[in-house]
Amino acid sequence: MVFNPAFRDGEELEEDIELIISKKPQIRLVLTNKAAYWPGKKTFAVSDPITTIKVDLSEIESIFIGKKSSLSSLLSGIVMIILGGAWTFAGYPNSYYVGYPQALIVGGIILAFFGGKRTLLKIYSRNEKLQWSAPLGFGKKFKEDINTTVEKLSTWAKKHSILLKQT
């Protein structure tokens, strides 16, 4: 089942947020006057793992918009650096993977320094939870796209008196 929200009678589309970065869909939110929809994935799917998750406005408890934890990014970056270093020295001199371990080291350094600046979105409800963190990216357009997404979601939440936590 492809992500395809089916609206009820009297339900009107207010925001259709689709963030695409580097030709890859990152997040998709369909916000109406009665509910919020986003794509979900079935863990054990025979044919198509994509489903549509629907949460009524009355079920949404809060929305969190903030920055990803700097500590988790720092620890992940250090682990990547250690693994890249171990892979580099373990494969020497007959390494078939020239470049991959070094890319892991460089990626770990970048993640350690810049990973804590990524945007984090969380939508909490009684039964469902959406958690999305922005990918690591640079550039003016990238930041504008993330900020536009955040503004649309926060405006929608304020309009419907949903508890909004921003940091």
**Structural domains of the chain, with CATH:** 13-68+118-166 (2.30.29), 70-113 (no CATH)
pLDDT computed for residue 138 by the predictor = 83
3-state secondary structure 57-105: HHHEEEEEEEECCHHHHHHHHHHHHHHHHHHHHHHCCCCCCCCHHHHHH
The set of residues, in sequence order, having a beta carbon less than 8 Å from that of 75 and lying 6+ positions away, is none
pLDDT computed for residue 48 by the predictor = 59
Residue 37 CA to residue 50 CA, distance in Å, equals: 13
pLDDT computed for residue 1 by the predictor = 44
Higher pLDDT, 136 or 30: 30
Q: Are 116 and 70 in contact (CB under 8 A)?
A: yes
Asked if the model's pLDDT at residue 49 lies above 90, the reply is no
Residue 91 CA to residue 77 CA, distance in Å, equals: 21
What number is the average pLDDT over the span 151-163?
93
- Rounded to two decimals, the pTM is 0.77
Partners of 36 in the beta sheet? 31, 55
Structure tokens at 90: 């373990």
Q: How many helices (H) and strands (E) does the chain have?
A: 3, 8
Higher pLDDT, 3 or 71: 71
Share of the chain above pLDDT 90, in %: 40
